[in-house]
Structure 1
Amino acid sequence: MNVLVVYAHPNPESYNAALFKQTCEQLTRAGHNIHPLDLYEIDFEARMSCEERVNYMTKDNTNGIEDHVAKLRWAEAVVFVYPTWWMGPPAILKGWLDRVWLPGVVATFGPNGVQPGLTNIKKFMIITTQGSSHWRMALVGNPPRKMFKLSLKAISKCKDIKWLALYSMDKNTEEDRKQFMEKVGKHLQRF
């Protein structure tokens, strides 16, 4: 399976970096063709330009990001690895979604509503860390999880969307982190 692994964390020594490395290694060992995309390493420009916004709903909306669109169209699965900050992904990942997940690429919009454009994607996996506790996120309806999963379903019709979150990141012990790494590993073995 062709797997695009999208990673967003500024610190190459972070726990998220270890999760990204494990993800890439396990998927490769399992025989998947992977494309690791480290948004910080490539210094991805997260800000949408005025020209991009003006062309957003036109057929010329992929100028300058054709290689990212090609990787998305190549993928049969997408794995995201990132921390959740302030109820959302890091700005660089949000910018990648804003600039690359475009009308005509991920969906078409017309009189019949939204028609999915990423029907090539059969699996999504989100691996994230969060400072908030699991119960606090459940209490507010876990907006990051809900928004991401609903959006992914709308643009792909994919039913295989796995959300793996390590909550209370700022209070976790090494053992907690090790157990989460093992949990992620088990899910990747069945990917």
Structure 2
Amino acid sequence: MKHLIVYAHPNPQSFNHAILETLQGQLQEKGHEVRVRDLYAINFNPVLAANDFISFSQGNTPSDIQAEQEHITWADVITFIYPVWWTGLPAILKGYVERVFSQGFAFTYGPNGVDKFLTGKKGLLLSTMGNSKENYDASGMFEAMKKTTDAGIFDFTGIETVEHAFYTSVPSVDNETRTQYLEEVKELVNRLF
């Protein structure tokens, strides 16, 4: 299978980066093709600007968006790896979705509702957070986040979410717990792919 990993964390020493390395290594070990789009490393511009709308309306896709859409088109599986900041996606990843998953490419509005152009692709989300599992369970945040990403982004464009894994209390857990989280990433790859 062809896997596109969209990675959104500015610190190359972060636990998110360890998740990226683990996921990429496990997929390649199993013979999958993997492309990584490190949004900070490529200095992706997350701002959906007036010029983007003008270009879209004229049937022209800005070159940076077109390059990312080619990666999306290539992939069988699209994985987002990101920290949860303010109970949502980091701005750079939200901007990636706004610019790359554009109307006319990822979806359009048809006479019968939304036409989903990314149908047939699978989606995987791996999210880290500082808060505890207990706090997120009690507040209903896990379900809220799944609604906005799994349903509001992936399902809206036709991508089938195969899993959304949450790794909680990352700054405060011990190394043994972090190691267990990385083992869970490997097990997830073995189970799903």
**TM-score normalized by structure 2?**
0.90
Letter in 2 for 1:156: G
Matches within 5 A, 1:8-157: 8-55=8-55, 58=57, 60=59, 62-64=61-63, 65-121=65-121, 123-142=122-141, 143-151=144-152, 152-156=154-158
Deviates more, 1:101-110 or 1:145-154: 145-154
What is the CA–CA distance in structure 2 between the aligned matches of 1:20 and 1:112, rounded to whole Å? 39
What is the CA–CA distance in structure 1 between the aligned matches of 2:120 and 2:58, rounded to whole Å? 20
User: Does the Cα contact within 8 Å between 2:6 and 2:36 map onto a contact in 1?
Assistant: yes
- Tell me, what secondary structure is at the counterpart of 2:81? strand
Kindly tell me: are residues 69 and 171 of structure 1, through their superposed partners in 2, closer, same or farther at Cα, counting changes over 3 Å?
Answer: same
What is the CA–CA distance in structure 1 between the aligned matches of 2:36 and 2:159, rounded to whole Å? 24
Deviation at 1:41, TM superposition (A): 0.7
Mapped pair 1:177 → 2:178: yes
CA shift digits 1:90-121 (9 cap, x unpaired): 11111111110001111111221111110141
Letter in 2 for 1:63: P
- Tell me, what secondary structure is at the counterpart of 2:83? strand
Kindly tell me: are residues 176 and 118 of structure 1, through their superposed partners in 2, closer, same or farther at Cα, counting changes over 3 Å?
Answer: same
**TM-score normalized by structure 1?**
0.91
Letter in 1 for 2:88: G
Letter in 2 for 1:135: E
What is the CA–CA distance in structure 2 between the aligned matches of 1:106 and 1:70, rounded to whole Å? 12
User: Does the Cα contact within 8 Å between 2:6 and 2:39 map onto a contact in 1?
Assistant: yes
Deviation at 1:55, TM superposition (A): 4.7
Gaps of 5+ in 1: none
User: Does the Cα contact within 8 Å between 1:73 and 1:120 map onto a contact in 2?
Assistant: no
What is the CA–CA distance in structure 2 between the aligned matches of 1:91 and 1:28, rounded to whole Å? 29
Deviates more, 1:169-178 or 1:40-49: 169-178
What is the CA–CA distance in structure 2 between the aligned matches of 1:59 and 1:105, rounded to whole Å? 14
Kindly tell me: are residues 59 and 2 of structure 1, through their superposed partners in 2, closer, same or farther at Cα, counting changes over 3 Å?
Answer: farther
User: Does the Cα contact within 8 Å between 2:83 and 2:127 map onto a contact in 1?
Assistant: yes
Moved >4 Å (runs of 4+): none
Counterpart of 2:165? 164
Bigger fraction of residues in helix? 2
Deviation at 1:140, TM superposition (A): 2.8
Q: Calculate percent identity across the aligned residue pairs.
A: 34
Letter in 2 for 1:163: H
